[in-house]
Structure 1
């Protein structure tokens, strides 16, 4: 028989952003229910997934790492050894002078860490079982939301699952990704950009070590990122720092040509083309694994909030992967939302939770910042890839600009600080 369960906060979407928010609120002793459409994994299933190298990797900023520390997940990630810290970042272009180098070679300091998605998720779901948060946090796995109904500002939302069970909450949070059902059901429209590019992702083993450096080459066809990966096998650890995650942005037709060859069993052409495109920055590519792809688009919800409802992470915004900031923006959403919710809750003596005025504070904090980031990445992509970027005057201005900026140390330190999310 279907049941109706009441809770203060209902989060739909159990990915990294949704799970981090659930933990953060539970730490504040707020009753939270997290609904994840994916089935619950046993520890053995987690270990099977973690035994595989994932070509996808998140470039976690210092601010994101700090948030993961606060919820107790970073400690588990560190213990697992499945992270690749980076202390330098190098950005250069194929057809011009000048390069940008972030980080101090003489006194290396952590700029961020590359971590595979499943490693982060495993740590978060382990933390959900801790006695300090378990009494406040309920996780519903393996069930999808079928209905959303709003019953007014005083009562909030009622949510029905495919199991027939129903949940009521004063505050509904959509953390359910770019195709957010919560956003669609709330009739919140999107601003979208289609770059007409496809990103090819893979894991590669290079002839030379990456030396804790994240690299990004700006090509006329799009960006090529080489991001350090953790060493997971005994052979990796005997020859450390040779595995990297690749995100190669290409015009859609060219990307599809290469992907079709891979489907036909010809991986060598991709390996050769990728090594050549990277200008052999780390020598030849010895191995290539886990080839995948995704179309490149950007989007921004026209509104992040409505009565009793708020969007976070990819449900609210999605950016070009050019600077690897997508997840970091979502983690900043989490910190900002928790701060405004708890500030008003404490000021009201525990009577106010998720009021529209509170949610609008979050929107004013995050939406302009995310919008600037989205359009900045779009402009940067346009300056290096496409017909406009191929114009000779644009090439000259771009080349001179990179050269001059790279010489101004205070400006480079400012950019480094912004990238850290602090």
Structure 2
């Protein structure tokens, strides 16, 4: 059977079982193993298991359960509530100030927990009712929470970046460093959008009345709320940048900071630890199956000779190397509307990375573009995770249609940021080159 027909059958089988609603990890791993057997025979199973064994010996993997555990603990402390009060006092006097403050808190949360859902749930519970009570437009409120919540996978530490590094073989530390400036850029662009829009349409996000604004002593006292979060960020990122720890060891520093925060807020107890540990075990087990599926897919994809076929098709696209990169981004953007980010990584990275390398592009830079696209996927209809996190906590008066409509301008802002990083790769590569 020719490579073309085998490749077509392979991807058709994947699509068929996905449409049936079966879990992506098992579809990808199962179909890959079956095609490997009929392509290479029984010996192909040893190839998959040897690759998986090599992955299981990787010290980098230890960071995943540690960062997840840190996120599970921080979700249940009072950090978010105190941060919001601080931003409320400092930014409330400005048009759109509470929305801007919420974005700032989401960025801080992203620098602490490394996942998307934590900030969305925290701000949806605390900031959303407060802003709606003060006359903020519901689409503005929903859009900024949705957008800011997605930064957890871009601003380091990021679980998705660790998985990207595991699948592609790049440095986790370089990926973390590369995410800092793009994360700041997206935050600045979103703040500019809110400021400009509120200038021309002040009714969308009115400033707080004079009697609700804080005095300077109150503002200064409220700054205590950022001490613990900044301490955690310094413990994690500062220890990596300072050369004190590896990214894996820094995850343990983050857990220590989360435990200290829980103790300071009086939440350090057995039920907290038990629930956080249980959820960590579940997520870590899921990630291990994901890595198995990734290795099986990669082995099948290369073993069938499909890599050369797809590479030839991609390189024949118009527009040269940039046309290929833009096509890849468009494919990932469309996939992100219907699949979860980890599934997209499993399907696309084994296909894309050899092409990216052959074109001479920096895999770290491409990784940041990829992660930003995953972040956009978290907030785009119909199946963005953040949309459903929000729907679970908003008042009944807010419909799913309201949530869908709220993301449109914020997605456009994110796409502008993505384009800027494509045009100026130094935004992503400057810090990794400087630090490593």
**TM-score bracket relative to the smaller structure:** under 0.3
As a proportion of its length, which structure holds more helix? 2
TM-score, structure 1 as length reference = 0.23
Q: Which has the higher contact order (CA 8 A, sep 6+)?
A: 2
TM-score, structure 2 as length reference = 0.22
